[in-house]
């Protein structure tokens, strides 16, 4: 059986596909499905190590973005998309997979068009409360659609849509507490805050954190994922701000969290500060960690996907939402201190976070994909 995974551009698109791929392998082995071949079709491999570890073959195609604002790049990206569709047709014709699994996003569009033309079954997963344009379009012909938030159901055909939760990689699903403080070089007696700006970092969040550090480190220790491209700059800025601070060693900068660092951070964190992508929320919920969510501003996230994600999740009590235009170092520190200084509040938020967690989404998606793939083989 051959299965193509389509998506990419961000970790929120890529890593749920990896989680589904892991479960596809497990189920195929249990059910003796021989010669399961997995392919990842996108404009970029995103994480070559994850692809290699899961036996996934990468096939490169072109993919152009369609921006909702006026930009000259929209004109040139039309040609990227057209060439991407031609390439995707050739790739899918040669592979001729039994099913295509897509997370949406601009990088998946050429592959979905090709699948539609070649009449290859399509399975979608939507991580956000409000679907992206590619998934909305593809839902018209998709065989099955899995969603992570109940609010997304209104946008898809009811007879082909199921609330399954967020696919989470098996190697990060369970936080690792043993050895985590030693691995991260932290003090186990000081509360730890983990700050994640997204798979490529977030400049505004990073800047506010740097400004807050002198005050923040008097009570807490901080693990800060800043994005690979920002690591040197943020480290240099922190060195200046903390030059005379006795608490300088309480601040740890990461460009990117690999799976081991991710589960170690989950094992020590008392509080997560994060963007509000559906994948990030799913992971934080599974770990049962209270969080402060800072959704992308409307100027960047024009459809407001992250904002609706954040408020949908926060309604259950596991998180509070801070809008980026209101973000300042004084307000952020006050909210952090309010949560971590009140054990009853922290416990209530942790319990609420855990109560919303769905940890078998990847398995549910994989079982459906295999069922459709087997049917197509016949």
What is the per-residue pLDDT for 369?
97
Q: What's the burial of 247, exposed, middle or buried (CB within 10 Å: 0-12/13-18/19+)?
A: middle
Looking at the structure of the chain, the number of domains it has is 2
The CA distance from 186 to 127, in Å, is 33
Q: What is the pLDDT of residue 90?
A: 97
Q: Kindly state whether residues 46 and 31 are assigned to the same domain.
A: yes
Q: What's the Cα-to-Cα distance from 289 to each of 180, 248, 334, rounded to whole Å?
A: 16, 25, 18
On whether both 248 and 372 belong to a single domain, the answer is no
Structure tokens at 77: 């990206």
Note whether 141 and 207 are same-domain residues.
no
Residue 325 belongs to domain spanning: 172-355
Structure tokens at 221: 């220790």
Do residue 264 and residue 156 come from a single domain?
Answer: no
Residues 149 and 257 in one domain: no
* Same domain (yes/no): 195, 120: no
Based on the domain organization, do 154 and 20 belong to the same domain? yes
Q: How far is CA 125 from the centre of its chain?
A: 12
Are residues 370 and 293 part of one domain?
Answer: no
Tell me the whole-structure pTM to 2 decimals: 0.91
Residue showing tokens 């997304």: 152
Angle between helices 203-216 and 329-340 (to 10 degrees): 60
- Overall size of the chain counted in residues: 378
Residues 11 and 144 in one domain: yes
CATH classification at residue 261: 3.40.50.2000
* Pair 118, 33 in one domain: yes
Residue whose C-alpha is closest to residue 22's, from 369, 362, 374, 377: 362
Beta carbons within 10 angstroms of residue 306's beta carbon = 29
Question: In this structure, are 329 and 182 located in the same domain?
Answer: yes
3-class SS letters over the chain: CEEEEECCCCHHHHHHHHHHHHHHHHHHHHCCCCCCEEEEEECCCCCHHHHHHCCEEEEECCCCCCCCCCCHHHHHHHHHHHHHHHHHHHHHHHHCCCEEEECCCHHHHHHHHHHHHHCCCEEEEECCCCCCHHHHHHCCCCCEEEECCHHHHHHCCHHHEEECCCCCCHHHHCCCCCCHHHHHCCCCCCCEEEEECCCCCCHHHHHHHHHHHHHHCCCCEEEEECCHHHHHHHHHHHHHHCCCCCCHHHEEEECCCCHHHHHHHHHHEEEEEECCCHHHHHHHHHHCCCEEECCCCCCCCCCCHHHHHHHHHHCCCCEEECCHHHCCHHHHHHHHHHHHCCHHHHHHHHHHHHHCCCCCHHHHHHHHHHHHHHHHHC
pLDDT at position 249 is 96
Does residue 329 sit in the same domain as residue 218? Answer: yes
User: Would you give per-residue pLDDT tens digits along the chain (378 residues)?
Assistant: 999 999 877 888 999 999 999 999 999 999 887 789 999 999 999 999 999 999 999 999 988 665 455 555 655 567 788 999 999 999 999 999 999 999 998 899 999 999 999 999 999 999 999 999 999 999 999 999 999 999 999 999 999 999 999 999 999 999 999 999 999 999 999 999 999 975 555 888 999 999 999 999 999 999 999 988 889 999 999 999 999 999 999 999 999 899 999 999 999 999 999 999 999 999 999 999 999 999 998 877 767 889 999 999 999 999 999 999 999 999 999 999 999 999 999 999 999 999 999 899 999 999 999 999 988 765
Nearest to 44 by CA among 32, 66, 60: 60
């Amino acid at each position: 059986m051959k299965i193509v995974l389509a998506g990419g551009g961000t970790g929120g698109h890529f890593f749920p596909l990896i989680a589904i791929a892991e479960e596809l392998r497990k189920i195929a082995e249990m059910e003796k499905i021989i010669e399961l071949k997995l392919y990842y079709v996108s404009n970029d491999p995103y994480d070559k190590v994850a692809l290699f570890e899961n036996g996934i073959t990468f096939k490169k195609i072109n993919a152009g973005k369609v921006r909702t604002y006026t930009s000259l790049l929209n004109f040139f990206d039309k040609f990227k998309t057209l060439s991407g569709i031609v390439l995707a047709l050739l790739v899918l014709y040669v592979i001729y997979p039994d099913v295509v699994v897509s997370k949406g996003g601009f990088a998946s569009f050429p592959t979905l068009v090709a699948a539609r033309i070649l009449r290859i079954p399509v399975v979608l997963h939507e991580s956000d409360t409000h679907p992206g344009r590619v998934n909305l379009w593809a839902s018209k012909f998709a065989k099955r659609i899995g969603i992570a938030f109940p609010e997304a159901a209104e946008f898809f055909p009811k007879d082909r849509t199921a609330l399954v939760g967020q696919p989470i990689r098996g190697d990060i699903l369970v936080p690792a507490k043993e050895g985590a403080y030693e691995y991260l070089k932290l003090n186990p007696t000081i509360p730890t805050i983990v700050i994640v700006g997204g798979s490529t970092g977030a400049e505004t969040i990073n800047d506010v954190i740097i400004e807050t550090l002198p005050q923040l480190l008097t009570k807490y220790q901080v693990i800060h994922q800043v994005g690979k491209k920002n690591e040197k700059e943020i480290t240099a800025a922190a060195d200046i701000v903390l030059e005379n601070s006795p608490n300088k060693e309480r601040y740890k900068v990461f460009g990117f969290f690999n799976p081991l660092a991710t589960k170690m951070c989950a094992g020590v964190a008392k509080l997560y500060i994060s963007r509000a992508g559906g994948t990030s929320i799913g992971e934080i919920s599974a770990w049962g960690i209270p969080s402060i969510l800072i959704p992308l501003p409307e100027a960047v996230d024009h459809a407001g996907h992250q904002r609706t994600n954040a408020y949908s999740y926060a309604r259950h009590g596991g998180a509070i939402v801070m809008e980026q235009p209101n973000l300042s170092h004084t307000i952020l520190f006050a909210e952090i201190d309010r949560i971590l200084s009140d054990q009853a509040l922290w416990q209530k938020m942790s319990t609420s976070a855990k109560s919303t967690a769905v940890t078998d989404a990847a398995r549910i998606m994989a079982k459906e994909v295999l069922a459709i793939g087997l049917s197509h083989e016949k």
